[in-house]
Chain A
Amino acid sequence: MYKHVLKRLVSIIPLLIGVSIISFFVMHLAPGDPTALFVDPSVSPHELARIRSNWGLDHPVHVQYFFWLKNVLRGDLGTAYIINRPVTELIAERIPATLLLMATSLFFILLVSIPLGVLSAYKKGRGLDNIISVLSFLGMSIPSFWLALMLMLLFSVKLGFLPSSGMSDPLLADTSLPGKLADIVRHMVLPVLTMVIIGFAGLTRYIRSGTIEVLGQNYIKAARAKGLSERTVLFKHALRNSLLPVITILGMTIPDLFAGAFIIETIFAWPGMGRLGIGAVFSRNYPLIMGIVFISSLLIILGNLAADVLYSVADPRIRTEGKD
C-alpha cells in the first residue's frame, strides 16, 4: 500500500512536466504576445523590445520553457507581468477562496446526491425515481453560466435576498467575526447553489445505477432474510457497497469543479484562483497562467491520488490484495 502511494507520488513528477510542456507551448501558439497590451503610439518600438527582453520573451519558446522549469524546480513560479508580484504570492492569496467554494460545493453535492441516488434506485421505475431522473437530466443539461445568471437575476436583482458578487461586503469590514462569517456565507450561497445544481446530477445517476446493481445481489437478499429493517438493508448493506465506485467518480469530479470554478468565480466575482486565471488569460500574463495551470494540475493529480488511496482503504478486497 505505502509502496503503491510512493510510486504514484513519484509518477506525479513526469505527469506535471508533461502538463507544463503542453500548456506552455499551446499558450505560445496563440498569436501575439503580452506586449500587445502596450501597443500604443506613446510606447516606442525600442521600449517594447526592452519590455520583451525584461520578460524573457526575446528567447526561443523552448529556452523560455527551460528557464521557467528551472525556476519552478527552485520553488519560484515567476513574477506576474504588469502586477509585478510573485505568482506564488498571488495564488496563495486566492487559493483559499477557491478551495472554500469547491469544498463547500462538493460537500453539498454529496449531501444531495447520495440520498437522492439511493432513493431513486430503491423506488426504481416509480414516480419518485422519475422525478429525480428528470431533475438530474435538467442539472446535466443546463449550462452553468446561464444558471448562474438566472439565479443572480432571481435572488439578487428581483428578490434582493442575496448579494450578486464578491466574497464579502466592504461595508461590513468593521463587523464582528461571526458577522463577517455570516456575510461570507451569504455571498457563497449563489455560487455554491450553481455548482451543486450542475454537479449533483451526474453523481446521483452514478449512485442510482450502483445501488440498483447492489440491491440485486444475493447478500442483500440474505440481509433481508435475516429480518433486518429496510433502512438497515439499504443504508448499511447496499449503500456502503454502491458508494465504492463513487470515490473514483469523486476523483474525476475534481477537474470539473476546477473548470466550473473558473466560470462561476468570474460570473460571481468570487476572488478565487479561477477568476485570477481568467484575468491572466485575457491579459496574456504567461507566468500567472503557467502558475495557475501548474497548481491546478497538482491539486487535481493529488485529488485523484487521494481518491485511489481512499478506495483501497474503503474496499477490503483491495486492502487484502495488498497484503499478498
Chain B
Amino acid sequence: MEKILEFQKIEKSFSGHKVLSGVSIGVLDGEIFGLVGESGSGKTTLARIALGLVRPDSGRILYKGAEISVLGQKDLRRALTDMQMIFQDPLAALNPKMTVESAVKEPLIVRNIEKESIMPRLISLLEDVGLSGRFLTRYPSELSGGEAQRVCIARSLAADPKLLILDEPVSSLDFGLQNEILELLMALKERKDLTYMLITHDLMMAEQRCSRIGVMKSGEIIETGSTADIFKRPEQEYTKQLINDAI
C-alpha cells in the first residue's frame, strides 16, 4: 500500500513552546491509522497541519507523494479538499447560523456540482449518514449530539474526500451513541473506499478499529507499528503505561 499522507520531520512551536518536534509518520492508503497519546501531546496540531489550518515551522507534508507544504494558502486549500476533518465537538463544528442544508451544500458548490443535482446529492448524503431530508431545514441548535456528528460526517463526505481525519470523533457523545457513530464511520469507509487517521486517547478504541498505530508523547512520535505489535510487544515504557491504564 502507498502512503496517502506523509509527515516528514515536522516542527511546530506556539509562543516559544515546542508542540511538535521532528514528527515523521505516514498514513497508508485505505488503512485506519490511529494516532494515540495523552491530551496535549500534539495530535490535534498535527491534524491541523495536515489540513493546512496551521503552518509548520519546518518539515515537509506529502499528499499522494506530492509536497503540499510549499503551496500557498489558496492552492493548498484547493489541494486539500481531498482531506476532511471530523471534530470532537460536533455542535461547535457547525455554524450556528447555518441550516443543515447550507452547511452540507457548501462543499458541493465549491466542487462546482450542477445546480439541479445538488438537492438529490444532499438527500443522498444525509441518507448515507442515517438522516433524512427533513433535517435539511434544521439549525444546529435543533440537533442532538449524535445527529450533529452525522451532519458533520455528511458535510465532510460532500467534499468527496479520500482521507478523513477523525479527531476524537465520539468522545463528546454518550456511550450508546459512540458505538453507533463508529459503526457508521466503519461502514462508510468500506462503502466509499476511505482512509482514516483516527486521533484518540482511547487505546481500546484504537485497538479495535485501527490497523496501525502511532504513539505520541510531548510532540514526538515515540513508537509506530501494527496495532497487534504495539499491543502485544510495546517497546516504550510510556506505551506500556498507556495500555495498562486503558485496561
In angstroms, Cα B97 to Cα A314, docked, is 8
> Pick the contact of B139 from A221, A223, A226, A316 — CB < 8 Å?
A316
* List of B residues within 8 angstroms of A316 by Cβ: 96-97, 139, 141
* CB-nearest residue of chain B to A220: B95
Q: List, in ascending order, chain A residues with CB within 8 A of B81's CB.
A: 225-227
Of B53, B93, B95, B111, most buried by chain A (CB within 10 Å of CB) is B95
Is A19 in the interface zone, CB < 8 Å from B?
no
Query: Can you list 16 A-B contacts (CB < 8 A)?
Result: A218-B89, A218-B92, A219-B94, A221-B85, A222-B87, A224-B53, A225-B51, A225-B81, A225-B85, A226-B110, A227-B77, A227-B78, A227-B110, A227-B159, A228-B110, A237-B95
Cβ contacts under 8 Å, A218 to chain B: 87, 89, 92-93
B189 at the interface (CB under 8 A from A): no
Residues in A with CB closer than 8 Å to B94 are: 219, 222
- Cα(A241)–Cα(B78), bound, Å: 25
B93 A320 Cβ-Cβ under 8 A: no
* Residues of the B chain whose Cβ atoms lie less than 8 Å from the Cβ of A226: 81, 84, 106-107, 110, 155, 159
**In contact, B142 and A320 (Cβ under 8 angstroms):** yes
A318 and chain B: residue at smallest CB distance: B141
Contact between A223 and B106 (Cβ–Cβ < 8 Å)?
yes
Contact with A217, one of B48, B92, B152 (Cβ below 8 angstroms): B92
A222 lies within 8 A of B141 (CB): no
- Which B residues are in CB contact (< 8 Å) with A219? 92-96
CA distance A23 to B124 in the complex (A): 64
Chain A, range 230-245, C-beta contacts under 8 Å to B: 230, 237, 240-241
The answer to the question of A315 belonging to the interface, with a C-beta cut-off of 8 Å to chain B, is yes
Instruction: Give every chain A residue within 8 A of B110 (Cβ-Cβ).
Output: 226-228
Query: From residue 187 to 230 of chain A, which have CB atoms closer than 8 A to chain B?
Result: 217-219, 221-230
Which residues of A does B touch, CB under 8 Å? Answer: 217-219, 221-230, 237, 240-241, 314-317, 320-321
How far, in angstroms, from A218 to B73 measured CA to CA in the complex?
A: 18
State whether A230 touches B141 (Cβ < 8 A): no
Contacts of A241 in B (CB 8 A): 95-97
Using CB atoms and an 8 Å cutoff, list the residues of chain B in contact with chain A: 48, 51-53, 73-74, 77-78, 80-81, 83-85, 87, 89, 92-98, 106-107, 110-111, 139, 141-142, 152, 155, 159
Task: Give the chain A neighbours of B84 by CB distance below 8 A.
Answer: 225-226
Minimum CB distance partner of A232 in chain B: B106
Docked-complex contact A222 and B139, CB < 8 angstroms: no
A240 to B95, CA, bound (A): 10
Q: Which residue of A lies closest to B102 (CB)?
A: A236
Using Cβ atoms and an 8 Å threshold, which residues of chain A touch B159? 225-227
The answer to whether A222 and B96 have CB atoms under 8 Å apart is: no
Nearest CB in chain A to that of B79: its residue: A227
CA distance in complex: A140, B221 (Å): 51
> Which residues of A have CB within 8 Å of B152?
222
Rounded to whole Å, the gap between the CB of B122 and the closest CB of chain A is 14
Could you say which residues of chain A place their CB within 8 Å of the CB of B53?
A: 221, 224-225
Q: CA–CA, A320 to B110, complex, Å?
A: 29
Determine the chain A residues whose CB is within 8 A of the CB of B107 once the complex forms. 226-227
